A and B are shown apart, each in its own frame.
Chain A
Amino acid sequence: MSTHVPGEADRAAAPAPLRPGRTLPGWVRRIAAMNETWTFGVLVLLVAFFTAARPDTFLTRYDITQIATNAAIYLVLGVGMTFVIIVAGIDLSVGSVLVLSAVLSAEYTIHHGGAGSGWGTVAVSTLIALVTGVVWGGLQGWLVAKAKVPPLIVTLGGFGAALGLAQIITGGQDPTGAVSGELQHSIGFGKLFGQIPWLVVIAFATTVVFGLVLAFTRFGRYTYAIGSNPEAARRVGIDVDRHLVKIYALTGLLSGLGSVMWLAYFGTTSIAGHSSDNLKVITAVVLGGASLFGGRGSVLGTVIGVFIPAVLTTGLIIMDVQQYWQDVAIGIVLVAAVYLDQFRRRGRERG
Chain B
Amino acid sequence: MTEPLLEARKVSKRYGQVHALQGADFTVRPGEVVALIGDNGAGKSTLVKTLSGTVRPDSGQILVAGVPVELGSPLDARRHGVETVYQDLALAPDLDAAANLHLGRELYRPGLLGRLGVLDRAAMRRSAVTAFAELGVDLRDVGVPVASLSGGQRQSVAVARAVAFANRIIFMDEPTAALGVVQRGRVLETIRRVRDRGVSVVLISHNMPEVLSVADRVEVLRLGRRVAVFEAAHTSVEELVGAMTGALDPVPAEPGPTGSGPAQSSRNGSDPTGSDPTGSDPTGSDPAAPGAAGQPSAPGKPARPTPGPEDGAL
Contacts and interface: CB of A to CB of B under 8 A. Distances in A.
B91 A224 contact: no
Interface stretch (B92-100, B189-197, B257-265, B268-276): B92-100
B283 interface: no
A237 B78 contact: yes
Interface size class of A (residues with CB under 8 A): 35 or more
Contact of A15 (B54, B74, B143, B180): B180
B180 A225 contact: no
Nearest to A295: B94
A349 B147 CA distance: 6
Interface string A216-234: 1111010011011101111
A6 interface: yes
Contact of A235 (B90, B105, B137, B180): B90
A11 interface: yes
Contact of B95 (A228, A350, A351): A228
Given A15-B152, A17-B138, A229 B119 contact: no
A218 B74 CA distance: 19
B154 A6 contact: yes
Contacts of B106: 218, 221
Interface string B116-141: 11110100000000000000011111
Contacts of B154: 4, 6
B88 interface: yes
Contacts of B150: 10, 16, 18, 350
B314 interface: no
A235 B54 CA distance: 6
Contacts of A171: none
Contacts of A350: 147-151
Interface in B99-121: 99, 103-106, 108, 116-119, 121
Interface string A199-218: 00000000000000000111
B117 A217 contact: yes
Contact of A224 (B95, B139, B151): B95
A22 interface: no
A15 B182 contact: yes
Contact of A232 (B92, B139, B177): B92
B104 A236 contact: yes
A244 to B, nearest CB: 15
A238 interface: yes
Interface string B68-101: 0000011100100000101011111111000100
A202 B167 CA distance: 49
**7 residue pairs, one from A and one from B, having the closest CB atoms:** A6-B151, A6-B178, A236-B104, A295-B94, A228-B92, A16-B150, A232-B90
